[in-house]
Each structure stands twice: as C-alpha cells, then as structure tokens.
Chains A and B, each alone.
Chain A
Amino acid sequence: MSVPAREKVELLSGNEAIARGAHEAGVTVASAYPGTPSTEILENFARYEGVYAEWAPNEKVAVEVAHGASMAGARALAVMKHVGVNVAADPIFTASYTGVRGGFVIVTADDPELHSSQNEQDNRHYAVAAKIPMLEPSDSFEAKEFTRLAFALSERFDTPVFLRSTTRISHAKGAVRLGEVSGPPPALGFVRDPAKWVMLPDNARRRHAIVEERMRSLAEFAETFDGNRIEWGDRELGVITAGVSYQYVREAFPEASVLKLGMAHPLPSRLVREFAAGVSRVVVVEELDPHIETHVKALGVPVQGKEIIPIVGELSPRIVRDGISGKSVPVHPAEGLPGRPPNLCPGCPHRGLFYVLNRLKVTVAGDIGCYTLAALPPLGGMDTCVCMGASLGNAFGIEKALGKAALGKVVAVIGDSTFLHSGITPLIDIVYNRGFTTVIILDNRTTAMTGAQENPATGRTLMGEPTRRLDLAALCRAVGVDHVYTVNPHDMARTEAVLRRELFRGEPSVVITEAPCVLLPDHRRKKRPVYEVIPDLCTGCMACSKLGCPAIEWVPFTPEEAVAAGKKGSQKGMARINPLLCDGCNQCPPLCKFQAILEKKD
C-alpha cells in the first residue's frame, strides 16, 4: 500500500478514529462516563469545534442524555466500557423500542483479557438481547468508517446502533484517511409523538412489532452490506471472523479464504452458507463467546470454533495459528523474574488510608478505581471488589448478615467519582434501613484511574468550563448521614483516630479522605520536598516498607556488607528513598521510630 497524501492520513487510535468518525457524521451531542478502554473517545471528540461533550455521572445517564438529544433531532453519541452497558442497560433496551430521530450510536468498548476491568463479558450478547444492530470494526480505519455508517444506519432503520470496540481496537493505532465533515445536522426540534416516545404498555406493544420488522430488514441488509465480505483464497480452509481477530487470521493464515463480518448483529445467513459451501473446512475465530459460531451452527453448517479457539482471554496470531493448525511452537520467556504489577503512585493519598485500614484489621469492602490496587501486597488492604458502587451495598450486606458482631469490623471504601456514579443510592439504603456502616470516600479531586477526568466534584466539565462543584459532605448529610468528617489521609495518625471512633458508632457515618491525586497538574507544579533515609540511623526494621511506596527501596546486605556499613552483622539491609520517585507526601517519616527519614536539604 502506498500511503496517500500526507495531510489526509493520520496515525489514529481506534478511540481517536471513533471520535473523528462521530465528528464527520455530524454528531453534536455526546455523553459518556470514563472507563478503560473507552475514555479517549470523548476526550478527543470534545476538542472538535461546535460540539457538546460531557462526562455524565454514570453510563445510564449518558445513554439517556444521548437518547434525548436524538429525540430532539441531533445526532448523538453515548460511550462506555463494556461493564458500563450493564449500568445503562435499562434505557438501552427501551430506546430500542422508541427508535431515534437524529442518529443515535452507543459505543461499547469491551476488554477481552481484562487489561483494566473486573470481568471480560462479551457485549455482543446485548445486541441480540436488546434487538439493536451492532457494527464491529477491525482496525482504526474501519473504526472511523463504521462510526459514520452507524449513524447512517441509525437514521435509515430508526434504531439505536451499537459500535463494539475492544482494547486492541481502541488502543491500537493505524493509518486513517480523514474524510469530510457532514453537512448541517437535520432540522432540530422535539416533535410530539407519544406513540413513538411514550412507552406505555399499549404503545410499547406496537413498537415491539416494529422492532421485529426492523430486525428482519437489517438481517436482509446484512446479506449485502459490504462490511460483510468474502475474501476468497485457498479453498481448503475458510475462516469466519470479525473485529481484531480478522487481523490475526490474515496474519496467521494469509492464504486462507475469509468471511469477514463487520456486523455482529444481525448476522447474515445466505452469505455464511455461500462461504461454507465454497470451502472444505470452516472455522470460526472470535474472541470470548461463541456468538458467530452459534449462529453458523443454527444454520446447520458444520463448523469448528470454541473447541480449538479459547473462550477465555484475548486472541493473537499465535493463538489462532496454534488452534487451527493443532500444532504449538513453544516460547521460552525468562523464568524467575520478579513480577511488576501496577502500584499506587509515590505520594498517592490512598496509601495513607490503606496503611491505617491495615492497622485497624477491618474487613474492607472495596470498589473500582486506583485504590483497588491497594488490594495488592504489601498493603493487601481490600477484601471485596465487584463493580462500581458495590462497596457500600456489600458492606451493608455483610453488616446485616453478622448483626451487632459487625460493629467496628467493616468499612466501605469508594472513590469520589465512583461514589457519584453508583454510591449514593446504597448510602440512602444504609440510612433508610438503619445501618451503622462506616463509609470512606476517597476524594482525590479527579477520576484518576482512567487518566484524571473531571467529575461533578471537581468543579470543571469535560469541555474545560468551570461549574458548580458538588459538595460531597453536604450530599451525605442531605441523605441523612449525621456524622460526616473530612480528614487528610497523609496525616495517618489523625485518620486512624477518626476511623477508630466512627467504626464503633452505632449509626451510619462517612469519612471523607481529602487530598489531591499526585497526577494532577496543580499538584505536579507545586514545589514538593524530597525525603531521604539517613544511612547511619536506619536499623533495617522495614517499618517504612510496609507502605509499599515505589520510592522506598530495600537495599539488602550480606553480613560482611552490614559490618562494612557500620551495622550489626545481623542487619539484613536498609531502606533508601529514590529521589527521582519521592513525591514528598510525608507519610513515611512518622513511621520511622529512629527518625531516620528526614527532608533532604540541598
């Protein structure tokens, strides 16, 4: 391929390409909740002229806002990670019935391999269950083209359309030729049409019949849609595939015949039969569940699928080659290397809190965010993690199961953005149903895990405008929590004292730990001290190591080295602070009984 004129081609991630595609399609309203691997879609879309883009408090709201914009005639986009669709499922299933006015596309970014997720659900099931067509691009180029197409299909068939990405689409980059931006959006205005928009049973019953008719038309469309195409090659092997798996198949079996499906729902039937009739062996290669395979089997076509292609985790050219050929070439990674799991940043305020929770020996119902990393050693400070907002309900449930025995023994820990996403309703449950749960809200003034996005408690919008900043303490009081306290988690002594008191209170209480995320530009610009370990004073007791701070390094000694360093031969080593990593949070100095950690002077 010769690369065309420079000004037209850019190296875009799938997420950047989806944002560009939405812009080219004339989208003017977009709403999302950040979540890996989807976050960059709205961050990029928000930079285009003349658009409105927002972070919603959660995915359900994002879908409702985009749906409303569509009702008013605008082209609208809602974006979320795979598990976000669970949150948004309620409006999605009924938006399927109402259909659209302006094109309405919902992006689901799935995460096979769980690179940054709590499960690896396959959201193609949602397309089937909600009776909504789904397009599935296989690289950045298609991500942009299919996004444009999704809006066209949405308006043509009066339906929301799913666009499904996966981590290897969203976070892979490829060359994309930029296109023209669509003309002016269609006429705006909400047109009263209760039979379409008011889903009372009688109206919805009629809409259901329309939905079924629509899916029949879309199934017909799928037979001739050029995104579903046969690439004839060697007739011995025919592979049916979609999404990034298509690229792996082309890499592993460049000679094979391929049926490449750009539409995950509805699937074509005649095209599948035609393809199967033209090859000796049919294999379906798809990540996660046997979605295509089940369809092909239902047509009575003999096919191999999940018996040779794994159902767990993402695929790769190698996995595809091994599965289809039945032969495996072993690889030999270096053995015995210490792992390098992700860790809380040096200076992270969460570390102070989890150090204290460790000391308190409580059961910690956890939640989704950077602080989930505190579950790893040495902090090992989290006992449950299920989904956004689950910490409060889980803690309350543990408390209800154990009764009075739970007093002083259970806390819920949740980040500021996660609390606003799904933590308010369970807090109401705790108050309403007379619980005594202690809830800790980690307020670091950002949505950190996904790369520091704004949220209602930061006082800024996605578009960078100042806005009213939500007052977390006032919100908690308003739902009926009488005991709301704010502490600085870097001050671990004070944090521990407040928690010890609140844990044993026979009423609900909320402790807000307030300190900014170290990744925020305001914090980075601040002049911060650097601490050092005075070698002569360090006894190698490892008290500071228990923080698990990446800046605190353990220098092991042999007995000879210890003696040479002027220590007892029995001292196993000493601590050192890496000045390049130290953020100056001042959590470690008070932990040293020997006052060996001091601010570095120079």
Chain B
Amino acid sequence: MTQARGNVFLAGVGGQGALLASEVLGEAFLLGGYDVKKSEVHGMAQRGGAVTTHLRYGPKVFSPLIEPGTADLLIAFEKMEALRFAHFLSPEGAAVVNAQEIMPPSVATGRERYPERIEERLAGVTPNLYMVDALAAALSLREVRAVNMVMVGAASRLLPLPETCYLEALRGRLPERIVGVNEKAFRAGRALLAPRGAGR
C-alpha cells in the first residue's frame, strides 16, 4: 500500500457517470495527502460518446495526461471501451472492467457487430484483469445510476488509499439525498473484489 505515484485511466460511455466517479477518486487522493491532476473532456464528447478521464497522483504531478503504456489501473465502465483504451495500461497494470455492453450507434443500427471475445483479448493485454458486473450490483440497489460508485468501490481494492478517503470524498461530492445509496454502491463494489495483500 505504498505506491508513491500512479496513473488511473477511466473509460466509459457518456451518461454512465464516469466523470463523477473520477471526481470522487481525485478528491479521495487529495484527502490521502497526494498531489493530484485529472483531465477529461466535456461538451460534445459527453453525448453518448466515449468518455475518458486521466487521473494521476504522486508527490508532485506535472502532466494531466497519462501516456499510453503507463496506466497502473484501467477502470472501464463498459466492456468494449476497456479494449479501446487497454493500450494505456503498463505491462504490470490492472484493469477493472464492468461486463456491461452498450451498443454504439453503428452496432445499434445493424451496420457493425459488437466485437466478440473481448474478455479474452483483454486478458492478452493484462494479466491482472478483473471483470465485474457493476450493472447487476447497481440494479440490486434499485439505482441504475450507481454503476459508477460500484466501479469506484471495486477499483478501490487496487488503490493505495484507506476506505475512509473514498467515503469522505463521496460525501463531499454528492448531494446529501443520494449519499446513502452511493455509499451502499461503493461497498457493494468493494465486495466484488477480494482484498489485495499489502505491498502491491
């Protein structure tokens, strides 16, 4: 649990709450005593398009962008988006991937097929692949919009912060009336991944 610096790459589809997830993570690292930089793109890209966030932490961070091949953790909110950005992972990096499939327009209109064998292809990129069903976890809480906090919870197992940082960040970032369900979602996500040994 002594990673001095790290790069976390988040990928999802507009509307999945990936930006809010990255807000909570960024705030959690700041609470954990790290310098933090985080970059994303708003506006046109958000309308159902691919959404990415670059989050970097360490004693002092310069670039807000992660370079390909250097991400320690890829948090993907959608399966194909995981594969699209898997080349950002470092050879030792880990990926937490939501098994959910969201059809892009070309697939939804029958012009292309949703790619097959994604899990296999991901496993070829990283030896540390964690597939999770965040949608099912969120639906079991009757809040489809909580997929993002389930993913934060799952990913938190692979990050060097105590649980309190995430929960404090979450409470600071969300309107009070939805804090409860999001805390539950975070814990549900955390339960999806077994705790990792110290020293990673």
Asked if A and B are interacting partners, one says yes
Interface residue ranges, A against B (CB under 8 Å): 1-3, 6, 9-11, 36-37, 39, 115-116, 139, 167-168, 171-175, 244, 247-248, 250-251, 316-318, 329, 331-334, 336-345, 370, 372-373, 376-378, 449-451, 542, 545-546, 548-550, 552-554, 556, 572-573, 580
Contact B68 A450 (CB under 8 A): no
Contact B13 A174 (CB under 8 A): no
Q: A116-B42, A171-B40, A572-B110 are in contact. Are A332 and B87 (CB under 8 A)?
A: yes
- List residues of chain A with CB within 8 A of the CB of B31: 6
* Segment 72-92 of B: residues with Cβ below 8 Å from A: 80-81, 83-87
- Is B93's beta carbon under 8 Å from chain A? no
Q: A173-B37, A174-B37 are in contact. Are A342 and B44 (CB under 8 A)?
A: yes
- The one of B15, B42, B62 in contact with A171, judged by C-beta atoms closer than 8 angstroms, is B42
Cα of A250 to Cα of B112 in the assembled complex, Å: 42
- List residues of chain A with CB within 8 A of the CB of B69: 329, 331
- Is B20's beta carbon under 8 Å from chain A? no
Contact A373 B37 (CB under 8 A): no
Q: A172-B64, A331-B69, A334-B84 are in contact. Are A36 and B42 (CB under 8 A)?
A: yes
For residue B125, give the distance in angstroms from its CB to the closest CB of chain A.
8
Q: A9-B30, A376-B105, A554-B107 are in contact. Are A1 and B48 (CB under 8 A)?
A: no
- The one of B59, B61, B87, B103 in contact with A553, judged by C-beta atoms closer than 8 angstroms, is B103
- Is B131's beta carbon under 8 Å from chain A? no
- List residues of chain A with CB within 8 A of the CB of B64: 139, 168, 172-174, 244, 247
- The one of A171, A333, A378, A542 in contact with B41, judged by C-beta atoms closer than 8 angstroms, is A171
- The one of A244, A334, A342 in contact with B45, judged by C-beta atoms closer than 8 angstroms, is A342
Cα of A279 to Cα of B134 in the assembled complex, Å: 54
- Is B65's beta carbon under 8 Å from chain A? yes
13 new A-B contacts at CB < 8 Å, known A341-B49, A345-B47:
A39-B42, A115-B43, A173-B36, A174-B35, A174-B37, A251-B63, A333-B87, A337-B84, A338-B112, A340-B80, A542-B110, A549-B108, A556-B110
Q: Which residue of B lies closest to A245 (CB)?
A: B63
- Is B106's beta carbon under 8 Å from chain A? yes
- List residues of chain A with CB within 8 A of the CB of B106: 338-339, 377
Interface stretch among B113-121, B178-186, B187-195? B113-121
- Is B109's beta carbon under 8 Å from chain A? yes
- Dominant SS among interface residues on chain A: loop
Q: A11-B36, A173-B36, A333-B84 are in contact. Are A548 and B113 (CB under 8 A)?
A: no
Contact B62 A251 (CB under 8 A): yes
* Segment 118-145 of B: residues with Cβ below 8 Å from A: 121, 144
- List residues of chain B with CB within 8 A of the CB of A580: 144
- List residues of chain A with CB within 8 A of the CB of B111: 377
Residue-by-residue, is B33-61 near A (CB-CB < 8 Å gives 1, otherwise 0)? 11111111111111111100000000111
- List residues of chain B with CB within 8 A of the CB of A450: 43
Q: Give 5 nearest A-B pairs by CB, closest first.
A: A116-B43, A36-B43, A342-B49, A554-B110, A172-B64
For residue B107, give the distance in angstroms from its CB to the closest CB of chain A.
5
For residue B137, give the distance in angstroms from its CB to the closest CB of chain A.
15
Residue-by-residue, is B1-40 near A (CB-CB < 8 Å gives 1, otherwise 0)? 0000000000001110000000000110011011111111
* Segment 155-195 of B: residues with Cβ below 8 Å from A: none
- List residues of chain B with CB within 8 A of the CB of A10: 30
- List residues of chain B with CB within 8 A of the CB of A373: 44, 47
Pairs A–B under 8 Å by Cβ, sample size 19? A11-B38, A115-B43, A116-B41, A173-B26, A173-B39, A174-B36, A248-B62, A248-B65, A250-B63, A331-B69, A333-B86, A338-B113, A340-B50, A341-B104, A343-B47, A548-B108, A549-B108, A550-B108, A554-B108
- List residues of chain B with CB within 8 A of the CB of A316: 63, 65, 67
Interface residue ranges, B against A (CB under 8 Å): 13-15, 26-27, 30-31, 33-50, 59-65, 67-69, 80-81, 83-87, 103-115, 121, 144
Contact A553 B108 (CB under 8 A): yes
- List residues of chain A with CB within 8 A of the CB of B83: 334, 337
- The one of A173, A251, A336, A556 in contact with B38, judged by C-beta atoms closer than 8 angstroms, is A173
Contact B36 A175 (CB under 8 A): yes
For residue A259, give the distance in angstroms from its CB to the closest CB of chain B.
16
- List residues of chain B with CB within 8 A of the CB of A377: 105-106, 109, 111
For residue B71, give the distance in angstroms from its CB to the closest CB of chain A.
12
Contact A550 B42 (CB under 8 A): no
Contact A318 B105 (CB under 8 A): no
- List residues of chain A with CB within 8 A of the CB of B67: 316-318
Cα of A378 to Cα of B46 in the assembled complex, Å: 19
Q: Which residue of B lies closest to A248 (CB)?
A: B63
- List residues of chain B with CB within 8 A of the CB of A337: 80, 83-84, 115
For residue B180, give the distance in angstroms from its CB to the closest CB of chain A.
20
Contact B62 A334 (CB under 8 A): no
Q: A37-B43, A116-B43, A175-B36 are in contact. Are A334 and B121 (CB under 8 A)?
A: yes
- List residues of chain A with CB within 8 A of the CB of B38: 11, 172-174
With most chain B CB atoms within 10 A of its CB, the pick from A36, A550, A552, A556 is A550
- The one of B45, B47, B114 in contact with A344, judged by C-beta atoms closer than 8 angstroms, is B47
Cα of A45 to Cα of B118 in the assembled complex, Å: 44
Contact A317 B41 (CB under 8 A): no
Q: Which residue of B lies closest to A450 (CB)?
A: B43
Contact A175 B30 (CB under 8 A): yes
